Structure 1
Amino acid sequence: MAILRLVSTSNLPQCYVSAGFVRNLVWDHLHGKQTSTPLNDIDVIYFDPAESNSAANLDYEKQLKALRPKVNWQVRNQAIMHVRNGDQPYTDVNDAMSHWPEKETAVAVRIDGNGNLECLAPFGLESLFDLQVTHNPKRNISVFDQRVASKNWLTLWPKLTVVRNSI
């Protein structure tokens, strides 16, 4: 909650904490882990199609680092990620996440203006809570397989089931 509160002060448009921050927490809980699996970074995503400074994400990372120095922040404007991914422009954060390699990573959480938790999950949450790692057919299967292997998910969370060629 402290991370979510901190990020909520950034005032970035459509700003969420996403990916492993949420996914790992769920998988740790469902595996009965007493301590959280360490994160390589904390992913903060936002959507600002009017942003003209291509290095703005680095400025946002520095701002968050000044507030929480021990965290490796990764801030990305999803409005420009379509260029790197070779996709049509994304319409919002939810649309951008719908292009991520595995469905269970495409989950984001924030504290809204009323102090409530808001969750985005373009593929829903069922497969996340069913301990699946599901290939997103919008992405090449080799990218998915490489991520599953390199991130060591099946060792960290042995109850996971890999689902390929899912629609």
Structure 2
Amino acid sequence: MTPNEQQIIEWITQDEARMQALRAVKTLGLEDECLAAGFVRNLVWDRVHGYEQTTPLNDIDVVYFNPHDLNPLTDLDYEQRLNAIVALPWSVKNQARMHLKYGRAPYRSTRDAISYWVETETAIGVRLDEHDALELVAPLGVDSLFDFTISANPQHGQPEVLLARAEQKGWITRWPKLRIEI
């Protein structure tokens, strides 16, 4: 494990809200699941900016991979079940069907699916393994999270989407040391 990966694991372990969310998701027994995107990214950006308070968990992306049940209503059921455990802004998505949204070949796993996400820094997730240890899912690595960048993922192939997302989400306002790399 790299020093940056170890640092992320340590920060998540110290964040009770994130640990509570991870424990809640584990109770569902999803296949190849992780809490991803801003769940990890925002925490790292908060820490490298030296913020004492972390950005609120305003959208918790739970991704998993089940090619045997592609019904979007299943995701809604999981969201309701999670809300019964802890009321948070859950967004559950089966990555086995998300390739359809982008006209791509079917993904092979959650790791494969998130390797196509818009920004390199967003393509990261974390889960509790069978021993309740944190495991990162980072097909594009984690180092750019520490470099104050928002970089276009070449596998996504639409850098204009990154620009729109950065503007809409107010990333540069929230984390002013960040710079966009297309």
Q: Same fold (TM over 0.5)?
A: yes
Higher helix proportion (structure 1 or 2): 2
SS in 2 for 1:122: coil
Other structure's SS at 1:48 match: coil
Matching residue of 2:160: 142
Q: C-alpha displacement at 1:52, in angstroms?
A: 4.4
Unaligned runs of 5+ in 1: none
| 1:117-132 correspondence runs (5 A) | 117-132=134-149
8 Å contact kept, 1:42–1:74? yes
* 1:91 pairs with 2:133: no
Gaps of 5+ in 2: 1-18
- State the alpha-carbon separation in 1 of the partners of residues 140 and 31 from structure 2: 22
TM-score computed with the length of structure 2 as normaliser: 0.86
For 1:74 and 1:106, how far apart are their aligned partners in 2?
Answer: 16
Q: Which runs of 4+ in 1 moved over 2 A?
A: none
Q: 1:102 is matched with which residue?
A: 119
| Counterpart residue type for residue 30 of structure 1 | V
Give the aligned partner of residue 73 of structure 1. Answer: 90
Per mean C-alpha deviation after superposition, the further-off stretch among 55-64 and 128-137 is 128-137
SS of equivalent residue, structure 2 residue 72: coil
CA–CA separation in structure 2 for the residues paired with 1:96 and 1:123: 12
Alignment-mate amino acid for residue 20 of structure 1: G
Q: Does 1:152 align with 2:170?
A: yes
1:55 aligns to what SS in structure 2? Answer: helix
TM-superposed CA distance for 1:54, in Å, is: 3.1
Instruction: Tell me whether 1:162 sits opposite 2:165 in the alignment.
Output: no
Letter of the aligned partner of 1:156 in structure 2?
A: R
Q: What SS does the corresponding residue of 2:118 show, helix, strand or coil?
A: coil
Partners of 2:40 and 2:70 in 1: CA distance: 29
User: Percent identity at matched positions?
Assistant: 47
Tell me, yes or no, if structure 1 residue 29 matches structure 2 residue 44: no
**Shift in Å, 1:20:** 0.4
> What is the TM-score when the length of structure 1 is the normalising length?
0.94
- 1:80-99: per-residue Cα shift (whole Å, max 9, x none)? 00001211100001110011
Distance 1:54 1:27 in 2: 31
